[in-house]
Chains A and B, each alone.
Chain A
Amino acid sequence: MPNKMEGAEKSRLLCTSVRRLMKRRSFAHFISYLLLGGMSFLFLAPFLWSFLTSFKPNPEIYSAPIKVLPRLATLDHYHYVVTGIPDFLTYFKNSVVVSLVSVTLVALFSSLAGYGLGRFEFRGARVVLFFMLLVLALPWGIFLIPIYIMEDVFGLVNTNTGLILPYVALNLPLATIIMRGTFRSIPAALEDAAQIDGCNSFQAWYLVMMPLARGGLAASGIFTFITVWGEFMFARTLMLTTETKTLAVGITELRTEGGSWAYGPLSATILLSIIPTLLLFLFLEKHFTRAILEGSLKG
């Protein structure tokens, strides 16, 4: 009998302590949710605000006091952006072309150079690496003035090429350093095996190493894409005609003739412009983290 009593006592004690723990836990969780909810709201609010405004008819946008929720939802602004602002589609096309070509060239050149630097010992390798690290720390503005003069001399201002060339050069150092690290982490035995099978270095790179370096390639590719898609200073300086402007610059100039913003079309354009990066983000979130970690090397 006493034995049974003791068991009951024990389980009662256990129950209360577990309950107390649960209480403290759930209180801590409650506070966490509260803080996280508040933060998320603040970070999402501008997007929500744009989203709601993009569906509001003009009288609701410019009413005093403003109304947060739309009474009558309308797709007019989207329709207007796509059909009524021919520039928007041009900007979009330019952004897509410039980003895709830049990312492709950076991926190709950085994986070649990363392999050369990571897998060979040769004279000058240290100098090249040091130079790349130095470039990472320097602000891009330093290169802008001579590049502008050069492009002006060679007639590259106001051409897509004139934007792609500096983007490739500016993004290469970081991408190459990421790829170098990726190649160095692949066991040498695999490469040796390829060479025994009669591959030359180029074939070893292409057939054996590249498929194993996909993670690094994704990380550097994502980082290059976000950088190029949102780059402002070079695009604003080198592309001065509507035919060659990119979204990051073009949208900031979509004002009415009076110089004020047309908020309805503006919010629609912002939301449309974010779609490519958003898709990339949602499908490759894991690689994003890696891209940020490796990219934070960059100054």
Chain B
Amino acid sequence: MNEVHLTHRMTKRNIWSPYLFISPCLLFLSVLILFPLLSSFLLSFTQYNYVYSSGPKWGGIANYLKLLNDQDFVAALRNTAVYGILFFPSLMLLSLGAALLLHQRLKGIGFFRISIFLPVILALSLSGVMFQWIFDPRFGLLNHLLAKLLRTHVALAWLSDERTVLLSLVVVSVWKFTGINMVLFLAGLETIPGALYDAARVDGAGALQRLLFVTLPNLKESFIMAGIWGIIQSIKIFELPFVMTGGGPGNSSLVLYHYMWRTAFRFFDMGYASAIGFVIGGLVLLFSILSFLLVKTERQ
């Protein structure tokens, strides 16, 4: 009855109203998102140097084929993968741990929550600058603390050593992003009914068993949300290596996004850069769709 009434009223409203409401938004999206998206897709099939070429020249899939034999691209892909493999599990473990610890009734819990969340509100590029200085071999805090701890002289060049540079970037990223995933896990923990824990206690489950058989299974959705977010973050890493290392030493911290940026705005090879961009976009979409399917099968 109510339903009929409502649709009746809906038809009586001016049929143009919804289009008026969405028009400013659509204008922005079509000019600055849809049009760039399509033109970038077309550009990826052209040879187009923004400084030297008179205009884009059709090149078919040449750009995409070139990627396969491009040493720098392979290095960037490898570095991004290594970074992601180190970053993702550390992020998940630390943020889950923090959320579990913070989901207790303790005095002063607000202070701990705020301090773990604080890096989230600092601009990513500035986090990079701050840590570049903390990693400084001579005046940096890290070496100083290590020296105090180990009681020897420590002068490790974290960012200019091929073996430690990616690890250092992972440390900064984990520091910066744990707060966000922690909030996602905390929200998930809030939704678990206390009765489940009581029931588990009655059945004689200890703290560890309650964690394994009540908490974690009920956090599945948070895991998926935080997981998608973490994977996308790993593929999208750009600011930190850009600011902290410039991709060096050598190519050892060159990542996909940075390689795209360099190709476009250092060498102005817009066609090739667009192709790299679409590979990154494809990777992100692939992982998003995979995780989305995971959610779907989970719900059924």
Contacts and interface: CB of A to CB of B under 8 A. Distances in A.
A32 B288 contact: no
B125 A141 contact: no
Contact of A145 (B114, B118, B264): B264
Interface residues of B, number: 99
Interface stretch (A2-10, A38-46, A80-88, A212-220): A38-46
A54 to B, nearest CB: 12
B17 A192 contact: no
Nearest to B182: A292
Interface residues of A, number: 97
Interface stretch (B18-26, B59-67, B196-204): B18-26
Given A122-B15, A141-B260, A128 B126 contact: no
Contact of B134 (A49, A115, A150, A249): A49
B187 interface: yes
B24 A143 contact: no
A181 interface: no
Interface in A79-111: 108-110
Residue of A37, A116, A166, A226 with most partner-chain B CB within 10 A = A116
Contacts of A210: none
Interface string B42-85: 01000000100000000000000000000000000000000000
Given A249-B125, A252-B126, A263 B139 contact: yes
Interface in A136-174: 137-139, 141-150, 165-166, 168-170, 172-173
A55 interface: no
B129 interface: yes
Contacts of B216: none
B33 A143 contact: yes
Given A47-B118, A146-B39, A296 B29 contact: no
B29 A169 contact: yes
12 contacts: A46-B130, A49-B141, A131-B29, A135-B29, A142-B277, A145-B277, A146-B39, A172-B28, A201-B17, A232-B239, A261-B129, A288-B183
Given A36-B102, A230-B122, 4 more contacts: A113-B22, A202-B20, A229-B123, A233-B239
Interface of A: 28-29, 32-33, 35-37, 39-40, 42-47, 49-50, 61-62, 64-66, 68, 108-110, 112-113, 115-117, 119-122, 125, 128, 131-132, 135, 137-139, 141-150, 165-166, 168-170, 172-173, 176, 188, 192, 195, 200-202, 205, 226, 229-230, 232-233, 236-237, 247-249, 251-252, 261, 263, 266, 270, 273-274, 277-278, 280-281, 285, 288-289, 292-293, 296, 299
Closest CB pairs A-B (n = 5): A116-B21, A230-B123, A169-B32, A113-B25, A120-B18
